[in-house]
């Protein structure tokens, strides 16, 4: 399955100190990508039954649930949780963002990690192991390690709709 299904299996496996096999056959499969699995060929993961390598990875825990990739809150969670997002990522994001960033239902999250506080966040992402600060365009959103024992925390605060539009549109050539 995808990240959610993998998290359910990982929780049971960890509780009983058992290994489990990740087969990337779900929606997003970010965890499988970080394990360097080919999500375009889920059957290839079965090769691990005969020549696989066992890895120990960190599990995150938030809101009463285990996660293998991240726990997201606010704008990002609302967008990816919309059923239309699976088939129409860009269209769904553009449709939902204005109301989520500045409308009456816009989230205003508060975060404290160690000595750092942030208020008025529209999105908060907590990952089991940090994402690199510099993004590698060939591997966007990939973590180099899944066993550092550290959480990654990313908060997003957009001050205006104009800035939000610029962020979504990206840099101009």
Q: What is residue 156's predicted lDDT score, i.e. its pLDDT?
A: 86
Rounded CA-CA distance 102/159 in Å is 9
- In this prediction the pTM is 0.81
**DSSP label of 70:** E
Q: What is residue 161's predicted lDDT score, i.e. its pLDDT?
A: 65
Q: Give residue limits of the domains in the chain.
A: 1-57, 69-173
Rounded CA-CA distance 40/24 in Å is 8
Rounded CA-CA distance 80/3 in Å is 13
Query: What angle do helix axes 89-102 and 161-169 make, rounded to 10 degrees?
Result: 160
Mean pLDDT by 10 residues, the chain (173 residues): 90 95 86 89 90 92 92 91 90 88 84 90 92 65 88 85 65 56
Rounded CA-CA distance 69/27 in Å is 13
Collect all residues with Cβ–Cβ distance below 8 Å to 139 and sequence separation of at least 6.
none
Q: What is residue 97's predicted lDDT score, i.e. its pLDDT?
A: 84
Q: Which of 129, 125, 126 is nearest to 149 (CA)?
A: 129
Distances (CA, A) of 50 to 31, 56, 122, 125, 152: 21, 18, 45, 36, 33
Q: What is residue 147's predicted lDDT score, i.e. its pLDDT?
A: 94
User: Is residue 27 a contact partner of residue 2, using CB atoms and an 8 Å limit?
Assistant: yes
User: Is residue 111 a contact partner of residue 153, using CB atoms and an 8 Å limit?
Assistant: yes
Q: What is residue 157's predicted lDDT score, i.e. its pLDDT?
A: 86
């Amino acid at each position: 399955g995808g990240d959610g299904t993998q998290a359910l299996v990982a929780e049971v496996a960890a509780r009983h100190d058992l290994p489990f096999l990740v087969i990337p056959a779900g929606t997003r499969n970010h965890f499988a990508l970080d394990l360097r699995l080919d999500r375009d060929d889920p059957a290839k993961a079965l090769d691990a039954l005969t020549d696989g390598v066992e890895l120990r990875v960190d599990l995150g825990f938030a809101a009463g649930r285990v996660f293998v990739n991240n726990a997201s809150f606010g704008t990002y969670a609302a967008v990816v949780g919309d059923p239309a997002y699976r088939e129409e990522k860009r269209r769904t994001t553009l449709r939902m963002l204005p109301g989520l960033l500045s409308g009456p239902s816009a989230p205003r999250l508060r975060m404290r990690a160690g000595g750092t506080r942030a208020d008025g966040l529209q999105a908060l992402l907590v990952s089991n192991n940090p994402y690199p600060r510099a993004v590698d365009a060939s591997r966007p959103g990939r973590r180099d390690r899944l066993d550092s024992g550290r959480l990654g925390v990313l908060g997003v605060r957009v001050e205006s709709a104009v800035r939000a539009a610029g962020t979504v549109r990206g840099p101009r050539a």
